[in-house]
Structure 1
Amino acid sequence: MDDDHVTRCCFLLINAFIFLTLNSSIHSSLAADTISPGQCLSGNQTLVSKGGSFELGFFSPGNSHKYYIGIWFKNIPSKDIIWIANRQAPILNPSTSLLKLSNNGNLVLLNETRSSVWSSNSTSSTSNSMFAVLLDTGNLVIVNTSTYTKPLWQSFDHPSHTWMPGGWLGLNKLTGEFQSITSWRNSEDPSPGLYTEGIHPDGSNQFVLLYNGSLVYWSTGLWNGQFFSGVPGTKEKSAFNFSFVDNKERKYATYTLDPNVISYTLMDPSGQVKQMLWMNTSQRWFPFYNQPVALCNVYSVCGAFGVCDHKSSPICSCYVGFKPVFTKDWKLGAWSSGCTRKTILQCDNKSASSTHEDGFFEMKMVRLPSNPVKLRNAVQSNTQCEQVCRRNCSCTAYTFDDGQCSIWSGDLHNAKQLYDGDSDGDGDGNGEDKDNAGNGTLHIRLAASDIPPPTPSSTNRHLGASVIFSVVAGTLVIIFLVFMGLTWVRKSRRNSRLAKHAEGSLISFTYADLRRMTKNFSDVLGRGGFGSVFRGKLPDSTVIAVKKLEGLRQGEKQFRTEVSTLGSIQHVNLVHLHGFCCEGNKRLLAPRFWSGKVRFKIILGVAKGLAYLHEKCRECIIHCDIKPENILLDEEFSPKVADFGMAKLMGRDFSKVLTTMRGTIGYLAPEWISGLPITAKVDVYSFGMMLFELISGERNSKVSINSEDDGEENFFPFRAANLVAAGDIIELLDKRLQGEVDLEELKRVCKVACWCIQDSDALRPTMGQVVQILEGVLDVNTPPVPRSLQNLINSPNSVYYSLPLDAEKDTEDQTSLFYSLPLTEIN
C-alpha cells in the first residue's frame, strides 16, 4: 500500500468525521460502529457498537509498550478485552498503523511500515455494498447489504481467549476449523498461552481443557442429549441458557444470558476457565464459576520444576535449586513458564573441574510429577534406585515407594505439596485426584552446591547408634509389657461383645448398654425436633454423644436414613457413627462426641464437611438441616456436622430434585418455600444464615412473630448484608470478642455469608468455592443485598414467618429461631 493511498484513506475518514459531525441528524445510518471499503482506523479512533455496549480500537495491556486491535466492554471501567486480532503480531505505534477494509472485502491491520500483520482472509465480489460492523453482542462482522444475516466473516468464528454469550465453541465440519479459546501468556502479554478450552480433539461430544494443545486435564463429560454428564448444571434453565448443536455444518456449544446480566467466559492464564459475572453494586467482576475448582489441579500450573501448594501465597514455587525461567511472568501470576536450574549438573558439564558429584534433595509429602518410568523387579531398595538414576545423566529424579522404583527424565511437571489427611493437595481431605501419578517422597537431582546443608540433628544422627538402639529397644519392651498388662485388665472388664467388634464397623448396642454408658441419660447435651442428645462414654473411655429418638415423629424410615447416611461417609468434619440401637421403639444413634474452639476454625471445618457431602461422595448428599444445633465440637473446637435424619441423596445425573420441604424455619432457602426443586445450594443458604449467628454471637432474630418492634433493626442478616455492602463489617462482630479478630478472615466470612443467602441458587457459591474463599485461594467481590431480605423487613407478617409447621418437625424445633445462641464458651 503506497503513501498516497494511505493519505487518501485517512483523508476520507477525516472528511467523513466532519461530515457526520455537521450532518448527524441526516446521516445517522453512517454510525460509528462501521468501517466501509476505503475507510481506516488509526491512533485513538474507535468503533462503538450501536447500543454502546462494546468498543473496538488499539489497546496496550498493562505496562506493555506493544499495541493490539481488540474489542472491550465500553461501559466497564476495567476495559476488559474480549477479542484480539493480532495477538501474535503486536505493533509499536498505533498512530502510524491502520485497520482498514480493503475493496475486496478483506479486513487488514497494517503496521508502521505498511506491512500486513493480521488479516481476516475474507473476500467478496460485491465490495461496493460491503462493510464491517461491531455488534452489541461484541461480534465484529463483515457483511454486505444482500447477505446481512449471514456474515462473510465474523470474530465469533475466531475467538481468542473469551467465549461470549451468543458465541460458540466447537468444530466447523465444512472447513475442519476448531473454535476454541486459548489463555494469554500473562496479564500483559496476550500471545497464546499453554491452556485451551474447546471440543475434544477426537471429535467426541464433550468439551475439554487442554495443556499445550494435547493433554486433557478437565472434561465436561459427554453430551447426553440434555446436558454434559460431568456438568449437570448445564441442564438448568436460569439466567444462563446453555445448548449444544450438532448439524451438517457445525458441532458447537453456545449459551445466552438474561438481558440484565453481563458475563463472559475466560480462559485464564492460570489454566482455569472462569465464568465472570459483573456486579454493578461493587463495580467488579465476580468469578461465578471456575474449573478446575482447585487451582493446583490445573495440569502443570507451576510449570516445569514448579510445585503447587494451595496453602501458600502465591501457590507456586520452584524446587530447591531452581529459579523461575521468566521472573516477570511469575510476578504477574502466570507460573506455567516454570523453573530452571540455578547450577548446571556435574553430570552434564563434561568440562567442569569440580570433584563434587551431583546429589539428591529429598522432598517429602508431594504428589509426584506425571509420567514416571517404573522399574519393575530389577530394583529392590532405595539405594539401588538412587544408583540407577545417578548412572543416567538424563535422570532428574527418582522415588522408591512400596518396593517400586520410579525415575523421571527431563522436565518434571504437576507436583503438589501435600498435608496430613490430604493426599492429593486439594485441601479437602478426600485424597482424590484423577491426574495423580502417585504420592510420596521425591528425590530431586541437584548440583552439589545447590543441596541445602544438613541440619545438626541429621549430622549427628548416627553417633552412638548402637547405644541408642539398645536403650530404645529396652524401653519399647517395657512399654509393650505394661501395655499388654493394661490391655488385658481393661478387656477383662469390658463387655465381651464390644471387645470383638471390628475397628470402623457399626456396633449394635443394647438399650441397657447405652443407658449404662450415659449414666441413665443424665447428662443432656441438647434437644432437637426428633429427640435429645446425651453425653456418654464407651468401655474404652471413648467419649460419645447418644441421640435418643423420642416420640413418634421419627419412625423407622428416618432412623434408617440417618444410620445408612452416617455409616457411608468418612470425613474429618463429619460426625462418625460409632453404633446404633434399635429395640422396638427404642432407637438411638451414637456418634463420636466432639466438644468446642475458635469461630473461624468452626466455620471452615463445617464448610469442608459440607463440600465433602456435596462434591466428593458417590452420590450428592444434601443435609437439609444445617444450623448451630447440628454442629458438634471436639475438645480442640474441631466441628463435626451431625444429625442426618433429613438428609437427601441426589444422583450425579440430576441437577435438581423435587422433595417435600424439610428443615428449620430461619434457615430455609427460598426454593423450599416456593415449592421448587432443590439442589445442594439449600445447604449453602442454611450455612450462610448460620454464619451470621456465629459472627454476631446471637440468633438472627430475637423478635417474636407478632412483635411490633422495627424488624429492620432486629433482623441481623438484613443489617449485616447492608453493612457488608458498605464495608463496615466490624460492627457485625460479637461484642464479647472486643474486636480481637483477624480482619481479613472476618471480611471473607461476611462476604461468604451474604453470597450464600442470595435469592437465586445460581448466584450462591458451591461449598467447594466457599472453602476456597475462606482459605483465601479464591477472591470474592462484595455481594448484593438479597431482595428477599428487603421484602421480609417490609412485610413482617410474610409467608416466611407464617409457614405451617413441617410434618416431620415438632413445634420446639420450628420456633428455635427465637432462642439465644449458647456461644459463651466460644470467645
Structure 2
Amino acid sequence: MAFQLPYCLCFLLTLLQMPFHTTSQTYNNISLGSALTAQDDNSSWLSPSGEFAFGFQKIGNDGGFILAIWFNKIPERSIVWSANGNNLVQKGSTVELTADGQFMLNDIANGTQMFIAEQAAATGVAYAAMLDSGNFVLANRNSINLWESFNHPTDTILPTQTLNRNSTLYGSYTKTNYSKGRFLFTLESKGILALYTANFPFESPNFRYWATQTEGVGFQVIFNESGYIYLTDINGSLLSMVSNKEVSMHDYYQRATLDFDGVLRHYIYPKSNGSSVGKGTRNWSTVSFKPPNICTAISEKIGGGACGFNSLCKHEDEGQIICQCPQNYTYIDTNDERKGCKQNFVPQNCDETSPETHHFGFQEMLYTDWPNGDYEHFLKVNEDFCRQSCLSDCFCAVAVFDKATGGCLKKGIPLSNGRIDKGVGWISLIKVRIDNSTYRQEVPRARKKENSALILVGSVLMIIISYLIVSLITYLFASHIYSKQAKVSKLYPVVHSINLKCFTYMELKEATNKFKEELGRGAFATVFKGVLASDNGRSVAVKRLDSMVRENDLEFKAEVSAIGRTNHRNLVQLLGFCNEGQHRILVYEFMTNGSLASFLFGESMPSWDQRREISLGTARGLLYLHEECSSQIIHCDIKPQNILLDDSFTARIADFGVAKLLQTDQTRTTTRFRGTKGYMAPEWFKSSPVTVKVDVYSFGILLLEIICCRKHYEPKIEDEDQMILADWAYACYKKKTLHLLLENDNGEEIGDIKMMEKYAMIAFWCIQEDPSLRPTMKNVTQMLEGTIEVSVPPNPSSLYVNQSDRSYY
C-alpha cells in the first residue's frame, strides 16, 4: 500500500496535465452560401461521425424552433449549445452562411436577423464545420478557426472544452425552456470558480452558493478526454477538482451541464449496452455534481432560494431536488414549481377590532425550516405561548418552536429559502384558516349545475336591489357634495389642538389657474404652484392626491396629522387643506429654490459651505421629528427630492405622505413597504420592525450625495466600481483617496478635505446594516456640529453592496 497510493496520485496528475489528444479531427466542410430551414424533421448539419448535429430542433408540439447543437445518436438528442434560447423562431426561419462569410439566423415571423458570429466575417470566413468534439467552427482558407461555439458556451461544456476567466454558463429557465434562467456558473476575473444565483430576469450574478478558494490564481477550467473536470493556474498546475470520475470518451458520451435547478452535473451516457460504468443503462446518469445540497447551500438573506418564496426544497439523490408547498399552500404556477407557493386561503386581516383569531389554527410540519425572515424571537417560552403569539399576530405566517431551548421564531410572508432537512429538530407551525368557506378554491362544476336555477333567480333579485341601492347612494352623495360646495373657507380643527385653513376646491382651482403649473409628481400625488388672492397674492405649493384611491385617504390623514403638529425651521409648513368630496388637497408654503435634487445634480454645484448648511439643516429637521415633536415621527422617505430649499437655501424637509407616527411608549413599529429604492434601510427587506434608524440610514445615503454632488447610483458610468456611491466612497476612504470623489469640484472642497472626510465617516456610520450600530439623529447632529468626535466607522457592508444587487437601485 505504501507504493500504490503515490503511484495512483502520479498517474492521476499525469492524466490531468495531458488534457487533450493531438489527433486531428475530420471536417465535413459547410461551404459559403449553405443554409438550413426550420422544419418538422429537424434539419441539420452533422459531424463526420454523426455523433453531433447543428441545426434547428423543435421545442414542444406547438413551440418554436431553437438553433442548437445536440447529441445526434441518442433518442433524447440532448442540446449542448444554443443560439436563440431566449427567442425561439418559427417554422420556415433559416440559418445561413452567406457568400461573404456572414453567419446569421433569419426569423421569418418578424423579419429580423441575428448575427451569430458578427466579427468573424470581417476576417475571411471560408467555410463552417460541425466537429466530432461537439464544437461548431467558422474557419478561414488556412483552416484557422475564427469563431467556435466552444468559446461561447450556453449551459454545457464538453470533453476537450475549456473555460477561461470571465466565461459563464447560464442554466436554462426550465427543463424545456432554454431561456437564461435563475443560476450561473462562472470563472470570475479574479480566479474564483463559482456558482451564483442570477439576478433574474437580469443576467448579473447575485449570491454565491458554491466556490473554489482560488482567488488570484484560478486561470482555466479544463474538461479533458479522461472525464476529469478541474481548475488550473496559469502554469497548468491543478488547483481544484470539479469532477474526478475517470470516464472513457470511447465508451461514453459526456457533458457537464448547469441544470435549471442550479446544480452543475457531470453526466455520462453509454454508447453501447456493454459499457462498464452506469451498469449498461441507456440513459444519462450523474457521476458527480456541485453543490452537494443546493437546498442548504443557498443561504442568502434575500431571494426565494432554490424553489421560490413560500416553498420547501427537498434534496434527493444525484443532487436532484423536489419543490413542495407547505400544507394549505399551492403552487403559483403548476407549470413552473420554482416560482414558489401562495396561500390557498384568505390571509388574516389586521383589523384590531375583529382579529379573526378564531378562524385560524396550525398545521404541524416536522423537519422543515425557513432560516431567514425571522422578525421576532422569544426565548424560554412554551409551545402554547408560541402558538398564541403567532395566532394573535396578523403578520405571522409560521411559528417555529424548539422544544429543547424553548425558542420561538415568528416568520412572515414571503417565507424564503425553505428546506426539508432531517437534521432540523424543531416544529414548524403553519398558520392556516380553518373556515373552509374562505379558502381560495373554485366551486365544483357539478355543484354549479345543481344551483344554476337558484343563481339565476338570485341574480335577478340582486340586480333589482342593487339598482335601488345605487339610486339612493347617488342621491345622498350628490346632496353631500352640494352641501360641501356651499361652505365657505374657515378654520377647521382636523385633529385636537390643530387649526389649519380649510379651502374649498374652487378656491384652489382658481389659485392654481385650473392646476396648470406642475411643480412635481409622485406615486400618489401631483404638486402645482398656486397664488392665494385671499392672502395678498401669496405663492403656495398645492399638493393634489390622486382621486378615488383608498390608500390616498390614509396618506392624506397621515400627512395632515403629522405636519399639522410640527413647527420647525427645517420643516415645510402646512398652511391648509381641502377635504371636499373626492378631493384631497394639501396647501404648503412655496419654496422658491425648489428641491435639493435639482440643486445638487444641476449644472452649477453648491459651494462647500452650502452643502454643510444643508446637511446640518436636514439633520436638525430629522432630530425634531424623532425626538422633539409631540409624537415621534418616522419620515420613511428621506431623499433629495423631499428636501426643499427656501429663498436663503435653508433645507426644509417635505412630504410626510409616508410618515409613520409612533406613540410615546413605542420604539419600533412593523409597517408595510415604504420609501424609495436606494435610500431604504436593509430592515425594510427583512420583514423586520422598523425604527427611526431607517431615517438615519436614508440620511447617510443623502449625506454622501450632498458631499459628492452625484446620485447614489449611476448605471451609465464607465467605471463599474463607481456605480454605487456608498461602495465607491468607502473604498476611497479606506485607500485615503477621498479627493477622487470631488474631481468635478472647483477646488474649494479639496482644500477642506479633512472636513469632507469627517462628513463621509458620519455617512458610513449612518448606513451600517445593523440598525443598532447607527447613531441617533441627535448624535449625527452633534457630529456635524463638531461637539462630539467621529470615530472610525466599520465597513457598512450593506446587503445589496455585498451581493452586487443592483436591481435594488
TM-score of the aligned structures, taking structure 2 as reference length? 0.41
- Of structures 1 and 2, the one scoring higher in RCO (CA 8 A, sep 6+) is 1
